[in-house]
């Protein structure tokens, strides 16, 4: 007669063997898909899709709007900068695209919910949500006013909660949708002068992974999530003067093209450039002094200019009083 403990052991062995077999099959399938020529890969059709892009008043958000509108998507951009919105609308319409813009302060959840309600009433359900808006302070932690730290988290991560809570229910009910989190390689590796920024991007990476896990746990198969983690990008106004050795900063157009491809292929996580995946692996296996030496050598100064805070192309500078009284905020 088989005892209960023997049965549990046997069941555990079966579970482990089953997991290994299934995992190997998934790995093999992923390798085959990665090696297929683009002409044989499955790409999602963006024509007619309602795409919402936060921070669409400039930089990467504007370029994504142009790229996706060119493929027939109907674009809605949110931004706190009305002039930026108007310029994005002008450029997209000039190439024959369909686009609408709404002013939204992503640092305030009540404004996010208000504009989300208006968006759904005027334009219908959102098919693709791109949480792109971001803030950068670029100061040593003890020199960063509390209000700028709060703003960094409000925009870089908390806003993701509010937009997803606003649009995810309809996606689940239709079992159709895609949520893209524009995070950063700073969401995997810490960098000096970017303590608040890195912490918010670590949170963004965790948000995406946890949300994906939760959807799978609930059996929601039609709603996809993608985390995008680029290296420093040129021409966004955030990292234009970053000192980077050995690895060039990224061209905005290249990043936009790669993000659109990732959306079409429904990739779970994208690192730009892909070689940086090795950095994450090395971080896990190397002693901390090696990791620190490598990162400080790669990025001697992430914010060489006098500290500012960027939110959707608007520069918000701490007052002299705040700069003096940082430790007492």
Q: Give the model's pLDDT for residue 305.
A: 64
pLDDT band, very low/low/confident/very high, at 12 (cuts 50, 70, 90): confident
CA 166 to chain centre: 18
Q: Give the model's pLDDT for residue 25.
A: 80
Q: Give the model's pLDDT for residue 317.
A: 36
Do the Cβ atoms of 329 and 322 come closer than 8 Å? Answer: yes
Of 7, 40, 113, 197, catalytic:
197
Task: Give the strand order in the sheet containing 314-316.
Answer: 135-136, 309-311, 314-316
- For 240-248, what is the mean pLDDT? 74
pLDDT band, very low/low/confident/very high, at 322 (cuts 50, 70, 90): very low
- For 244-254, what is the mean pLDDT? 85
Q: Give the model's pLDDT for residue 40.
A: 61
Q: Select the more confidently predicted residue: 60 or 16.
A: 60
Q: Select the more confidently predicted residue: 305 or 51.
A: 51
Instruction: Report the share of the chain in percent with pLDDT over 70.
Output: 86
- For 36-48, what is the mean pLDDT? 77
- The whole-angstrom separation of Cα 244 and Cα 191 is 12
Burial 260-294 (b: 16+ CB within 10 A, else e): bebbbeeeebbbbeeebeebeeebeeeeeeebeeb
Domains of the chain are 43-328 (3.40.50.720)
pLDDT band, very low/low/confident/very high, at 307 (cuts 50, 70, 90): very low
- For 31-44, what is the mean pLDDT? 70
- The whole-angstrom separation of Cα 284 and Cα 300 is 22
**Pairing verdict, β 269-272 and 309-311:** unpaired
- For 90-106, what is the mean pLDDT? 97
- For 66-87, what is the mean pLDDT? 97
Q: Which residues pair with 131 in a beta bridge?
A: 181
pLDDT digit string (tens) for 99-157?
A: 999 999 999 999 999 999 999 999 999 999 999 999 999 999 999 999 999 999 999 99
- Range with lowest mean pLDDT among 25-34, 53-62, 94-103, 255-264: 25-34
pLDDT digit string (tens) for 269-304?
A: 999 998 888 888 888 889 989 888 888 888 888 877
- Residue 197 among the catalytic residues: yes
pTM > 0.75: yes or no: yes
pLDDT band, very low/low/confident/very high, at 26 (cuts 50, 70, 90): confident
């Amino acid at each position: 007669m088989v005892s209960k403990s023997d049965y549990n052991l046997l069941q555990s062995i079966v579970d482990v063997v089953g997991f290994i077999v299934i995992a190997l099959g998934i790995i093999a399938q992923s390798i085959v898909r990665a090696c297929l020529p683009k002409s044989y890969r499955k790409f999602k059709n963006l024509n007619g899709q309602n795409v919402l892009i936060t921070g669409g008043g400039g930089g990467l958000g504007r370029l994504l709007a142009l790229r996706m509108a060119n493929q027939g998507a109907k674009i809605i951009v949110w931004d706190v900068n009305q002039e930026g919105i108007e310029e994005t609308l002008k450029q997209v319409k000039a190439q024959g695209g369909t686009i609408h813009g709404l002013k939204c302060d992503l640092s305030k959840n009540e404004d996010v919910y208000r504009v989300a309600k208006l968006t759904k009433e005027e334009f219908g359900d959102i098919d693709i949500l791109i949480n792109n808006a971001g803030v950068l302070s670029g100061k040593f932690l003890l020199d960063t006013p509390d209000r700028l730290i709060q703003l960094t988290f409000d925009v870089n991560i908390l806003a993701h909660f509010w937009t997803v809570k606003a649009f995810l229910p309809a996606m689940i009910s239709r079992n159709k949708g895609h949520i893209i989190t524009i995070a950063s390689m700073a969401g995997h590796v810490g960098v000096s002068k970017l303590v608040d920024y890195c912490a918010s991007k670590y949170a963004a990476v965790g948000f995406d992974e946890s949300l994906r896990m939760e959807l799978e746990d609930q059996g929601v198969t039609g709603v996809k999530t993608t985390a995008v983690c680029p290296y420093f990008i040129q021409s966004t106004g955030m990292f234009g003067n970053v000192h980077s050795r050995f690895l060039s900063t990224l061209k905005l157009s290249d990043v936009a093209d790669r993000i659109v491809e990732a959306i079409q292929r429904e990739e779970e996580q994208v690192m730009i450039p892909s070689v940086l995946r090795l950095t994450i692996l090395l971080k896990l296996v190397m002693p901390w002094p090696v990791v620190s030496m490598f990162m400080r050598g790669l990025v001697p100064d992430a914010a060489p200019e006098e500290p500012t805070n960027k939110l959707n192309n608007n520069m918000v500078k701490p007052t002299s009083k705040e700069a003096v009284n940082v430790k007492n905020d």
